[in-house]
Chains A and B, each alone.
Chain A
Amino acid sequence: MSVPVIMFFACAALAVLGAVLLILAREPIHSALALVLVMMSLAVLYVLLGAEFVAAVQIIVYAGAIMVLFVFVIMLLNAGVEERTDFSKFAKYAGLPFAFFLLLLMAHWLWRAPAGAVIASGPGAATQAISTRGLSTQLFREYLFPFEATSILILIAILGALVLARKNE
Protein backbone atom coordinates (compact mmCIF):
# COMPACT_ATOMS: atom_id res chain seq x y z
CA MET A 1 0.00 0.00 0.00
CA SER A 2 1.66 3.18 -1.13
CA VAL A 3 0.52 6.76 -0.77
CA PRO A 4 -1.57 7.07 -3.99
CA VAL A 5 -3.44 3.86 -3.24
CA ILE A 6 -4.19 4.97 0.32
CA MET A 7 -5.26 8.39 -0.99
CA PHE A 8 -7.53 6.72 -3.53
CA PHE A 9 -9.28 4.58 -0.94
CA ALA A 10 -9.58 7.45 1.54
CA CYS A 11 -11.14 9.76 -1.06
CA ALA A 12 -13.34 7.00 -2.45
CA ALA A 13 -14.63 6.29 1.06
CA LEU A 14 -15.25 10.00 1.63
CA ALA A 15 -17.11 10.32 -1.67
CA VAL A 16 -19.34 7.32 -0.97
CA LEU A 17 -19.91 8.57 2.57
CA GLY A 18 -20.97 11.97 1.22
CA ALA A 19 -23.34 10.35 -1.27
CA VAL A 20 -24.92 8.23 1.47
CA LEU A 21 -25.24 11.29 3.71
CA LEU A 22 -26.95 13.12 0.83
CA ILE A 23 -29.57 10.38 0.76
CA LEU A 24 -30.02 10.09 4.53
CA ALA A 25 -30.13 13.81 5.38
CA ARG A 26 -33.59 15.20 6.05
CA GLU A 27 -32.65 18.86 5.59
CA PRO A 28 -31.68 20.04 2.09
CA ILE A 29 -28.82 22.13 3.49
CA HIS A 30 -27.24 18.98 4.96
CA SER A 31 -27.59 17.28 1.59
CA ALA A 32 -25.87 20.25 -0.05
CA LEU A 33 -22.93 20.06 2.37
CA ALA A 34 -22.65 16.31 1.76
CA LEU A 35 -22.55 16.98 -1.98
CA VAL A 36 -19.70 19.48 -1.43
CA LEU A 37 -17.84 16.67 0.38
CA VAL A 38 -18.34 14.39 -2.63
CA MET A 39 -17.08 17.06 -5.04
CA MET A 40 -14.00 17.82 -2.95
CA SER A 41 -13.05 14.13 -2.78
CA LEU A 42 -13.58 13.82 -6.53
CA ALA A 43 -11.27 16.82 -7.05
CA VAL A 44 -8.53 14.99 -5.09
CA LEU A 45 -9.15 11.91 -7.23
CA TYR A 46 -8.72 14.03 -10.37
CA VAL A 47 -5.36 15.21 -9.05
CA LEU A 48 -4.43 11.57 -8.43
CA LEU A 49 -5.37 10.87 -12.04
CA GLY A 50 -3.07 13.65 -13.18
CA ALA A 51 -5.86 15.98 -14.38
CA GLU A 52 -4.99 19.09 -12.38
CA PHE A 53 -6.97 21.51 -14.52
CA VAL A 54 -10.16 19.47 -14.19
CA ALA A 55 -9.58 19.32 -10.43
CA ALA A 56 -9.29 23.10 -10.25
CA VAL A 57 -12.41 23.57 -12.38
CA GLN A 58 -14.22 21.03 -10.22
CA ILE A 59 -13.50 23.01 -7.07
CA ILE A 60 -14.05 26.48 -8.54
CA VAL A 61 -17.14 25.83 -10.65
CA TYR A 62 -18.80 22.84 -8.97
CA ALA A 63 -17.97 23.15 -5.29
CA GLY A 64 -17.78 26.92 -5.56
CA ALA A 65 -20.30 28.40 -7.96
CA ILE A 66 -22.94 25.70 -8.40
CA MET A 67 -23.15 24.65 -4.76
CA VAL A 68 -23.26 28.28 -3.61
CA LEU A 69 -26.20 28.69 -5.98
CA PHE A 70 -27.88 25.67 -4.39
CA VAL A 71 -27.26 26.90 -0.85
CA PHE A 72 -28.50 30.35 -1.85
CA VAL A 73 -31.76 28.95 -3.21
CA ILE A 74 -32.22 26.75 -0.11
CA MET A 75 -31.82 29.83 2.08
CA LEU A 76 -34.04 31.93 -0.18
CA LEU A 77 -36.88 29.42 -0.15
CA ASN A 78 -36.37 28.56 3.53
CA ALA A 79 -36.45 24.85 2.69
CA GLY A 80 -36.86 22.84 5.89
CA VAL A 81 -37.26 19.19 6.71
CA GLU A 82 -38.74 17.27 3.82
CA GLU A 83 -41.96 15.37 4.37
CA ARG A 84 -42.07 11.63 3.95
CA THR A 85 -44.82 10.30 1.77
CA ASP A 86 -45.73 6.83 0.65
CA PHE A 87 -44.26 5.49 -2.52
CA SER A 88 -46.44 4.52 -5.40
CA LYS A 89 -47.19 0.85 -5.95
CA PHE A 90 -45.49 1.04 -9.32
CA ALA A 91 -42.25 2.20 -7.73
CA LYS A 92 -42.44 -0.51 -5.11
CA TYR A 93 -43.09 -3.48 -7.38
CA ALA A 94 -41.47 -2.46 -10.66
CA GLY A 95 -38.69 -0.22 -9.39
CA LEU A 96 -36.90 -2.75 -7.22
CA PRO A 97 -36.50 -5.45 -9.90
CA PHE A 98 -35.49 -2.80 -12.39
CA ALA A 99 -32.84 -1.40 -10.03
CA PHE A 100 -31.52 -4.93 -9.51
CA PHE A 101 -31.42 -5.47 -13.25
CA LEU A 102 -29.51 -2.20 -13.70
CA LEU A 103 -27.01 -3.29 -11.05
CA LEU A 104 -26.48 -6.62 -12.82
CA LEU A 105 -25.98 -4.85 -16.13
CA MET A 106 -23.38 -2.51 -14.66
CA ALA A 107 -21.56 -5.38 -12.93
CA HIS A 108 -21.54 -7.24 -16.23
CA TRP A 109 -20.01 -4.32 -18.12
CA LEU A 110 -17.42 -3.63 -15.43
CA TRP A 111 -16.52 -7.29 -15.41
CA ARG A 112 -15.95 -7.22 -19.13
CA ALA A 113 -13.80 -4.07 -18.97
CA PRO A 114 -10.13 -4.82 -19.59
CA ALA A 115 -8.86 -5.74 -16.16
CA GLY A 116 -5.28 -5.36 -17.27
CA ALA A 117 -5.69 -1.65 -17.95
CA VAL A 118 -3.51 -0.15 -15.25
CA ILE A 119 -2.71 3.51 -14.91
CA ALA A 120 0.04 5.29 -13.10
CA SER A 121 -1.05 7.51 -10.25
CA GLY A 122 0.20 10.77 -8.89
CA PRO A 123 0.82 14.13 -10.50
CA GLY A 124 4.45 13.26 -11.13
CA ALA A 125 3.44 10.34 -13.31
CA ALA A 126 1.38 12.52 -15.63
CA THR A 127 2.49 12.05 -19.19
CA GLN A 128 2.72 14.86 -21.69
CA ALA A 129 -0.42 13.59 -23.35
CA ILE A 130 -2.71 14.52 -20.47
CA SER A 131 -1.21 17.84 -19.40
CA THR A 132 -3.09 21.11 -19.12
CA ARG A 133 -1.14 22.45 -22.08
CA GLY A 134 -2.38 19.62 -24.25
CA LEU A 135 -5.92 20.12 -22.96
CA SER A 136 -5.93 23.81 -23.91
CA THR A 137 -4.54 23.01 -27.35
CA GLN A 138 -7.24 20.42 -27.87
CA LEU A 139 -9.95 22.72 -26.53
CA PHE A 140 -9.07 25.73 -28.66
CA ARG A 141 -8.29 23.84 -31.86
CA GLU A 142 -10.36 20.74 -32.32
CA TYR A 143 -13.21 21.71 -29.99
CA LEU A 144 -13.28 25.43 -30.73
CA PHE A 145 -16.79 25.41 -32.17
CA PRO A 146 -18.38 23.52 -29.25
CA PHE A 147 -16.48 25.81 -26.90
CA GLU A 148 -17.99 28.89 -28.54
CA ALA A 149 -21.39 27.21 -28.58
CA THR A 150 -21.22 26.76 -24.79
CA SER A 151 -20.79 30.51 -24.37
CA ILE A 152 -24.07 31.02 -26.21
CA LEU A 153 -25.59 28.27 -24.05
CA ILE A 154 -24.50 30.11 -20.89
CA LEU A 155 -25.96 33.35 -22.25
CA ILE A 156 -29.28 31.65 -22.97
CA ALA A 157 -29.23 30.10 -19.49
CA ILE A 158 -28.70 33.51 -17.88
CA LEU A 159 -31.58 34.98 -19.88
CA GLY A 160 -33.81 32.01 -19.08
CA ALA A 161 -33.05 32.22 -15.39
CA LEU A 162 -33.80 35.95 -15.39
CA VAL A 163 -37.08 35.49 -17.23
CA LEU A 164 -38.15 32.62 -14.96
CA ALA A 165 -37.19 34.14 -11.64
CA ARG A 166 -38.53 37.67 -12.07
CA LYS A 167 -41.73 38.69 -10.37
CA ASN A 168 -44.89 38.47 -12.41
CA GLU A 169 -46.30 41.92 -12.86
Chain B
Amino acid sequence: MSVVPVSYYLVLSAILFGLGVVAFVFKRNIITIFMAIELMLNAVNLAFVAFARAHGQLDGLVFVFFVIVVAAAEAAVGLAIIITIMHNRQTLNVERINLLKF
Protein backbone atom coordinates (compact mmCIF):
# COMPACT_ATOMS: atom_id res chain seq x y z
CA MET B 1 0.00 0.00 0.00
CA SER B 2 1.55 3.22 -1.07
CA VAL B 3 1.24 6.39 0.93
CA VAL B 4 0.91 10.07 0.25
CA PRO B 5 2.40 12.21 3.05
CA VAL B 6 -0.01 14.55 4.75
CA SER B 7 2.34 17.44 4.04
CA TYR B 8 1.57 17.08 0.30
CA TYR B 9 -2.09 17.73 1.02
CA LEU B 10 -1.17 20.69 3.21
CA VAL B 11 1.04 22.16 0.50
CA LEU B 12 -1.77 21.76 -2.04
CA SER B 13 -4.17 23.38 0.43
CA ALA B 14 -1.78 26.30 0.93
CA ILE B 15 -1.34 26.74 -2.84
CA LEU B 16 -5.10 26.76 -3.40
CA PHE B 17 -5.62 29.19 -0.53
CA GLY B 18 -2.93 31.47 -1.94
CA LEU B 19 -4.50 31.37 -5.39
CA GLY B 20 -7.84 32.19 -3.73
CA VAL B 21 -6.30 35.24 -2.05
CA VAL B 22 -4.78 36.31 -5.38
CA ALA B 23 -8.17 35.96 -7.10
CA PHE B 24 -9.84 37.84 -4.25
CA VAL B 25 -7.44 40.75 -4.62
CA PHE B 26 -7.07 40.88 -8.40
CA LYS B 27 -10.56 40.18 -9.69
CA ARG B 28 -12.83 43.14 -10.27
CA ASN B 29 -16.15 41.35 -10.70
CA ILE B 30 -18.03 40.96 -7.43
CA ILE B 31 -19.32 37.48 -8.37
CA THR B 32 -15.79 36.27 -9.12
CA ILE B 33 -14.57 37.70 -5.83
CA PHE B 34 -17.29 35.69 -4.12
CA MET B 35 -16.04 32.59 -5.97
CA ALA B 36 -12.54 33.30 -4.67
CA ILE B 37 -13.93 33.13 -1.12
CA GLU B 38 -15.44 29.73 -1.95
CA LEU B 39 -12.06 28.62 -3.28
CA MET B 40 -10.39 29.59 -0.02
CA LEU B 41 -13.04 27.72 1.97
CA ASN B 42 -12.36 24.64 -0.17
CA ALA B 43 -8.63 24.89 0.50
CA VAL B 44 -9.29 25.05 4.25
CA ASN B 45 -11.60 22.03 3.96
CA LEU B 46 -8.83 20.04 2.31
CA ALA B 47 -6.48 20.87 5.19
CA PHE B 48 -9.17 19.83 7.70
CA VAL B 49 -9.70 16.46 6.01
CA ALA B 50 -5.95 15.84 5.71
CA PHE B 51 -5.43 16.56 9.40
CA ALA B 52 -8.42 14.42 10.36
CA ARG B 53 -6.89 11.56 8.38
CA ALA B 54 -3.42 12.09 9.81
CA HIS B 55 -4.63 12.07 13.41
CA GLY B 56 -7.34 9.45 12.89
CA GLN B 57 -9.95 11.74 14.44
CA LEU B 58 -13.35 12.65 13.11
CA ASP B 59 -13.67 16.21 14.44
CA GLY B 60 -12.01 17.57 11.33
CA LEU B 61 -14.64 15.95 9.13
CA VAL B 62 -17.41 17.40 11.29
CA PHE B 63 -15.86 20.84 10.89
CA VAL B 64 -15.76 20.35 7.12
CA PHE B 65 -19.44 19.49 7.24
CA PHE B 66 -20.22 22.70 9.12
CA VAL B 67 -18.02 24.77 6.82
CA ILE B 68 -19.96 23.46 3.81
CA VAL B 69 -23.31 24.23 5.48
CA VAL B 70 -22.24 27.75 6.42
CA ALA B 71 -20.84 28.27 2.91
CA ALA B 72 -24.22 27.32 1.46
CA ALA B 73 -26.00 29.83 3.70
CA GLU B 74 -23.36 32.44 2.89
CA ALA B 75 -23.77 31.85 -0.85
CA ALA B 76 -27.54 32.31 -0.63
CA VAL B 77 -27.30 35.60 1.27
CA GLY B 78 -24.27 36.87 -0.64
CA LEU B 79 -25.81 36.29 -4.04
CA ALA B 80 -29.00 38.00 -2.89
CA ILE B 81 -26.86 40.99 -1.86
CA ILE B 82 -25.17 40.91 -5.29
CA ILE B 83 -28.57 40.98 -7.01
CA THR B 84 -29.58 43.96 -4.86
CA ILE B 85 -26.33 45.77 -5.71
CA MET B 86 -26.93 45.13 -9.40
CA HIS B 87 -30.47 46.54 -9.11
CA ASN B 88 -29.33 49.63 -7.28
CA ARG B 89 -26.11 50.53 -9.07
CA GLN B 90 -26.30 48.70 -12.42
CA THR B 91 -22.73 47.44 -12.13
CA LEU B 92 -20.82 44.43 -10.83
CA ASN B 93 -17.43 46.17 -10.84
CA VAL B 94 -16.21 46.67 -7.29
CA GLU B 95 -14.33 49.81 -8.34
CA ARG B 96 -17.67 51.47 -9.01
CA ILE B 97 -19.30 50.38 -5.78
CA ASN B 98 -17.56 53.10 -3.81
CA LEU B 99 -20.28 54.88 -1.88
CA LEU B 100 -18.54 54.26 1.47
CA LYS B 101 -15.04 54.93 0.17
CA PHE B 102 -13.26 58.02 1.38
Contacts and interface: CB of A to CB of B under 8 A. Distances in A.
Note whether A and B form a binding pair: yes
Interface of A: 2-5, 8, 12, 15-16, 19-20, 22-23, 28, 31-32, 35, 38-39, 42, 45-46, 48-51, 53-54, 57-58, 61-62, 65-66, 69-70, 73-74, 76-77, 79, 82-85, 91, 95, 99, 102-103, 106, 110, 113, 115, 117-122, 124-125, 127, 129-130, 134-135, 138-139, 142-143, 146, 150, 153-154, 156-158, 160-162, 164-165
A52 B49 CA distance: 11
Contacts of B5: 115, 117-119
B97 interface: no
- Shortest 6 CB-CB contacts between residues of A and residues of B: A2-B2, A157-B73, A164-B80, A19-B19, A161-B80, A82-B29
A61 B66 contact: no
19 contacts: A4-B4, A19-B16, A19-B39, A38-B42, A46-B46, A49-B49, A51-B53, A54-B61, A54-B65, A62-B68, A65-B72, A69-B79, A70-B75, A82-B32, A103-B18, A110-B10, A143-B62, A164-B84, A165-B84
A20 B101 CA distance: 30
Contacts of B95: 83, 85
A39 B68 CA distance: 12
Contacts, number: 228
B62 A138 contact: yes
B58 A22 contact: no
Interface of B: 1-12, 14-16, 18-23, 25-29, 31-32, 34-36, 38-39, 42, 45-46, 49-50, 52-54, 56-59, 61-62, 64-66, 68-77, 79-84, 86, 92-93, 95
Given A82-B32, A139-B65, A117 B54 contact: yes
A35 B23 CA distance: 12
Contact of B93 (A45, A85, A120, A156): A85
Nearest to B88: A168
B41 to A, nearest CB: 9
B66 A150 contact: yes
Nearest to A49: B53
Contacts of B6: 113, 117-119
Contact of B80 (A57, A113, A117, A160): A160
